[in-house]
Structure 1
Amino acid sequence: MCGIAGIFHCGTPKPVDPERVSRMADALAHRGPDGSGVWTGPGVGLGHRRLSIIDIAGSPQPMHSADGRATIAFNGEIYNYRELRRELEGEGAEFRTDGDTEVILAAWLRWGVECLPRLHGMFAFALYDAHRRELVLARDRLGVKPLFMVHLADGSVAFASELKGLLAHPLLRREADPLAVEDYLAWGYVPDHRSILKGVEKLPAGHYRVLRHEAAPPPPVQWWDVDFSRRHRGSTADLSAELLHHMREAVGSRMVADVPLGAFLSGGVDSSAVVALMAETSRDPVTTCSIGFDVAALDETSYAEKVAHRFSTDHHARTVDPGDFTAVEGLATMFDEPFADASALPTWRVCQLAREHVTVALSGDGADEAFAGYRRQLFHAREEQMRTVLPAALRRPVFGGLGAIWPKADWAPQPLRAKATFLSLAEDGAEGYARAIGVVAPELRAALYTDRFRREIDGYRAEDVFAQIMREAPARSGLDAAQYADLKFWLPGDILTKVDRTSMAVSLEAREPLLDHRLVEFAAALPQRERIRGRQGKWLLKHTMRRYLPDEVLFRPKQGFVTPIADWLRGPLAGEARAIASGARLARTGWFDETRLARMAEAHISGRSDHSRLLWQLLMLDRSLDRLGIAA
């Protein structure tokens, strides 16, 4: 795993200062502490920071092809590089190294952009072809590895694995994008179609972009998508056997490394499944790492220990104080953009623990999106059944009216928390699901904004982008469309961003075998009854893993990492909550109604209401603005 950065002049190919590229790359030193390199040519410069995983001594970057035509800076891993190498050698290619970077170079020289579908793995790379006088920026299918870019005033495009790399460039404008603020308040993160800084873009997952000298940059080109409109045929037994084959292939391919390798183990279905298949493949005990809490309601370590004992792993566990609020500043620095997923803190802690023992860790991320494991997906499938029975002309007035008067009761038992369901049923499936996955409802966001900020966003509504993805999804059902949108929007923006930044912050490579694209494509074509049965999501996955895991692991309620933010904001962070409305950088932006924020902060601190999610979002937004040096 690595960090890349660079500069490319789309106009006149001006000289690129290697020191500038070096500073951009060095801002990513945490992503690659084992080596660094910079290369410049007419109008182009590439920088690289290396975390050595494969061919430790023999694959320095930026790397040149043997004939000097192509140069690459690459972040990620290509899991089928050995098979590709043999194919390319059969066609006359010669190799000087034993790693995957040179294989990408050879694949480009042989197939051009058509090499991308042949690459199985996670990657973001910048490849300069001197013969074609073009720079190709490419990102893996599902967006495991990030790539930021920006057009600068001197006619150049700068790019980097993290926003930190762009921040090291003196020409970067530090002006907040108000539309990104609207997106962030809606989702709790800045999605991939937006950046907190105006002008900064993220290359979308499954896309590439070709930059040429003396030509305006064309838009990104999509080279991969997932199709939910097809359906597998066959019995449950046949589909289960095929699923197990894909899972074994995915896990086995990700166990190739020249450094110590292990796995995160939460004791949930997905990480336990990965560990089970690793143990099946490995001669030696698998190294596993778990984080626990000293609050019983938050702790899952007993399940992790059972799985570790079952497969005789070399297990390491650490108890984390759930009151550890001191990492707030570290999180803001780690993510650059505002990021309010509270599970980032325990994810960071388990990455720290893993890095003490291994350099590569496999995770269970991605199965919920691919196999319908989220409770919201189950609810959406049921709501879609109701939408089929009840016409919109009836649903809108009845459920819309109930949703308007029903009290918001996050503290109440689940059956009494019906407000969101009523509001969702009043809308079509896309609008309803967008509302279901949001953090701050559009009505509350609108009430929080000042008149000036409403004019700045000019009617833009964050949910519209997500709903449009669902409406245009290659899908047969509402569940298909919801899963498609989760894979295209939620997964890269939230889940993969969280894992990438927290693992790279401690120079740990995280690999996601359950996001192998062949496995995801297989899951997308499963009949709906193989994904959801009764109240169980991920049904076929759980059924398949019963030969490895006990039912108490497979069928217990989903928990996930939890952080007691509500208590923090009533205790040690109460002063921070009050400062959001007056005194903090956020308060000086003029975006939010200070009086309303102050009332909400006091209501939360006193215990009269729970506004913890919103206050946490605003606190992390304030920290991000401060970190980025955005003028108030």
Structure 2
Amino acid sequence: MPRLWADGSGLRLLEGVPGNAHGPVRVGGLTAVGEVTLHNGRTLRAALGADVPDGCSDTELLLRVWATLGTAGLRLADGMFVLAIADGEDLVLIRDHVGARTLFYGHGTAGWCVSTSLLALRRAPNLRTGLNLDAVRSFLTFAYLPGDETLVAGVREVLPGRVLRLRPDGAEADEVFWEPEERIVDADDHPRRLRALLEEATAARLPAGEQVGVLLSGGIDSSLVTALAAKLHDQTVRTYSISFGSDLPNELAYSGLVATHCHTTHSVLNVPGETIAARLAETVALLDSPVGDPLTVPNLLLAEAAAADGLSVVLNGEGGDPVFGGPKNLPMLIFELHREDSAPLARATAYLRSYRKCYEDLPVLLTPAAREASAPLERFVQPYLDGPMDSLLNRLLHCNLRTKGAHHILTKVERLTAARGLRGLAPLFAPAVIDHAFAVPPRLKLAGTSEKWVLKEAVRDLLPRTIVDRPKSGMRVPVQQWLSGPLRTLTQEVLLDRRSHPLFDVRTVRSWLRGEGALLPRQGGKLWLVLTLELWLRAYDLV
């Protein structure tokens, strides 16, 4: 788990770091520590045009790239990395293109404090930290924190694709080294070109001489990653799927079909509600920011199963929806079709409502004291939704990539896999794949009613037609059954505890626990958010 630490006394490691096991590295007058995994080291060495020392770690290689080539060199890198560099009196922070790894910072009485661990900064003696009420509202709206804010007041998160220079006087200078751009190319060979990029990204993430795992749901995204891994790897491919019980709807027929088709060693992990109840608090505490995703405990259990099989790398299919146009865009496209509101923030407000979380419940869910925060929630999405891209679909995808992708999907997987000594890698989030996605005409991503059309066509020959052409259904997680069954006691004890009252109106929570206020049982998802937040706040001693 998190190991990087920097403050006024210098850069150091709390413990060994993958790719930087021997402590800080030095190049010229620069000193750096980081958590760096590079997938294209050969390309970067060639770009340097000079001898790179034998045994050079990924951290040293990235530092040399920065020292020699600057932001142009960072754009060339493909990997998951954060780097903190002492440059004279300045501290330079770098976070990878898409946000696979995280880095937090704050300014205290002894200067800047930086860490990959939010909990470490929470406990830093020279930082005055407390609960950030603005972030509470953000989490309850999005089910994650979509920007640079954290739940710890005075601590922020470095945004992906950025170089952040922190000066001794507390000033900051932010530079973007990579951002997706809409450069549409009207051509007939997009599926073929995309296929080549997918193969390259997957091959670069396969562990040499080792077996590899794939988290296989049975949807098109994880299935295509499985098929590519099976085609390209010279070692056994192990696949892992989840079952919540034979009496509940599941995707096991599809994941089993893919595993058989691709000749993988397949395992199905049964996750009863009792296990969710027993492991939820522990899992939530592993995250630097809470994620209101009920798959967090299953994700951790899958990581444990892969680690028990001796794996060091597990691939996943994350990225298909936010990059190539999954179903979550349809509500916004319908809104735009029937739009009558011309107010400046109308589109951003509609986007917040489309999440169907607690945005419209905040006036009754939060106590008056907790509602005092006033920063508009639309600020996180409006720059993308009304941004420079011409296509509305691409604006939506850009927003999904920079908010949910960087602050939910990638960071959740990285933290939970790293907690068990694994690297969780997402080929569909490779920068080159994303760049190509924004060069594809929108009509080839959402082709009529066919979502992610170009992605499906790129891999059609690798998978059974049943998998390629099936509509997306998503993993059906029995949250309502858990909350009314094995999680009932924990939920009531936590949410009706006096310590919760400063944030949440107990009358609203009680009504949701009784299932009141809705024709359909949608309170379960809302209760899950509140429960997750409360458990995280307790783990971080913020209540």
- With normalisation by structure 2, the TM-score equals 0.92
- Work out the CA distance in 2 between the residues paired with 1:259 and 1:128: 36
Report if aligned partners of 1:581, 1:595 keep a CA contact under 8 Å in 2.
no
Task: Pick from 368, 375, 384 the counterpart of residue 336 of structure 2.
Answer: 384
**Which residue is equivalent to 1:81?**
41
User: Where does structure 2 lack aligned partners over 5 or more consecutive residues?
Assistant: none
Task: Pick from 54, 60, 63 the counterpart of residue 96 of structure 1.
Answer: 54
**Which residue is equivalent to 1:399?**
none
**Corresponding residue SS for 2:286:** helix
CA-CA distance at 1:135 after TM superposition: 2.5
Structure 1 residue 194 corresponds to structure 2 residue 193: no
**Which residue is equivalent to 2:363?**
446
State how 1:136-155 maps to structure 2 within 5 Å. Answer: 136-154=92-110
Report if aligned partners of 2:122, 2:152 keep a CA contact under 8 Å in 1.
no
State how 1:34-49 maps to structure 2 within 5 Å. Answer: 44-47=10-13, 49=15
Report if aligned partners of 1:181, 1:196 keep a CA contact under 8 Å in 2.
yes
**Corresponding residue SS for 1:287:** strand
- Work out the CA distance in 1 between the residues paired with 2:3 and 2:71: 20
How much is the aligned-residue C-alpha RMSD, in angstroms?
2.6
- Work out the CA distance in 1 between the residues paired with 2:273 and 2:470: 23
**Which residue is equivalent to 1:355?**
307
Report if aligned partners of 2:209, 2:235 keep a CA contact under 8 Å in 1.
no
Structure number, greater radius of gyration: 1
**Corresponding residue SS for 2:128:** coil
Report if aligned partners of 2:281, 2:536 keep a CA contact under 8 Å in 1.
no
- Work out the CA distance in 2 between the residues paired with 1:571 and 1:292: 17
CA-CA distance at 1:291 after TM superposition: 2.2
CA-CA distance at 1:257 after TM superposition: 4.4
**Corresponding residue SS for 1:46:** strand
- Work out the CA distance in 2 between the residues paired with 1:284 and 1:98: 26
Task: Pick from 378, 387, 401 the counterpart of residue 463 of structure 1.
Answer: 378
- Work out the CA distance in 1 between the residues paired with 2:475 and 2:415: 17
Shift of the 605–433 alpha-carbon distance from structure 1 to 2, 3 Å rule, reads: closer
Report if aligned partners of 1:180, 1:196 keep a CA contact under 8 Å in 2.
yes
- Work out the CA distance in 2 between the residues paired with 1:349 and 1:559: 22
Report if aligned partners of 1:268, 1:558 keep a CA contact under 8 Å in 2.
yes
Structure 1 residue 176 corresponds to structure 2 residue 93: no
CA-CA distance at 1:240 after TM superposition: 1.0
- Work out the CA distance in 2 between the residues paired with 1:392 and 1:608: 28
- Work out the CA distance in 2 between the residues paired with 1:66 and 1:607: 63
- Work out the CA distance in 2 between the residues paired with 1:599 and 1:109: 58
Report if aligned partners of 1:174, 1:630 keep a CA contact under 8 Å in 2.
no
Instruction: Report sequence identity in percent.
Output: 26
**Which residue is equivalent to 1:8?**
7
**Corresponding residue SS for 2:451:** coil
**Which residue is equivalent to 2:354?**
436
- Work out the CA distance in 2 between the residues paired with 1:294 and 1:244: 36
Shift of the 435–381 alpha-carbon distance from structure 1 to 2, 3 Å rule, reads: same
Shift of the 245–85 alpha-carbon distance from structure 1 to 2, 3 Å rule, reads: same
CA-CA distance at 1:439 after TM superposition: 1.0
- Work out the CA distance in 2 between the residues paired with 1:160 and 1:483: 30
Structure 1 residue 329 corresponds to structure 2 residue 281: yes
State how 1:553-592 maps to structure 2 within 5 Å. Answer: 553-579=467-493, 582-587=496-501, 589=502, 591-592=503-504
- Work out the CA distance in 2 between the residues paired with 1:106 and 1:487: 29
Shift of the 298–503 alpha-carbon distance from structure 1 to 2, 3 Å rule, reads: farther
CA-CA distance at 1:61 after TM superposition: 3.3
Residues 501-548 of structure 1: CA distance to partner in whole angstroms, max 9, x if unpaired? 211221210111111111101101211210112322101111221111
CA-CA distance at 1:464 after TM superposition: 4.2
**Which residue is equivalent to 2:215?**
264
State how 1:503-518 maps to structure 2 within 5 Å. Answer: 503-518=417-432
Shift of the 94–519 alpha-carbon distance from structure 1 to 2, 3 Å rule, reads: closer
Structure 1 residue 108 corresponds to structure 2 residue 66: yes
- Work out the CA distance in 2 between the residues paired with 1:429 and 1:606: 26
Structure 1 residue 158 corresponds to structure 2 residue 76: no
- With normalisation by structure 1, the TM-score equals 0.80
Shift of the 368–197 alpha-carbon distance from structure 1 to 2, 3 Å rule, reads: same
Structure 1 residue 320 corresponds to structure 2 residue 271: yes
**Which residue is equivalent to 2:186?**
233
User: Where does structure 1 lack aligned partners over 5 or more consecutive residues?
Assistant: 10-15, 17-43, 397-425
Task: Pick from 446, 450, 459 the counterpart of residue 545 of structure 1.
Answer: 459
**Corresponding residue SS for 1:451:** coil
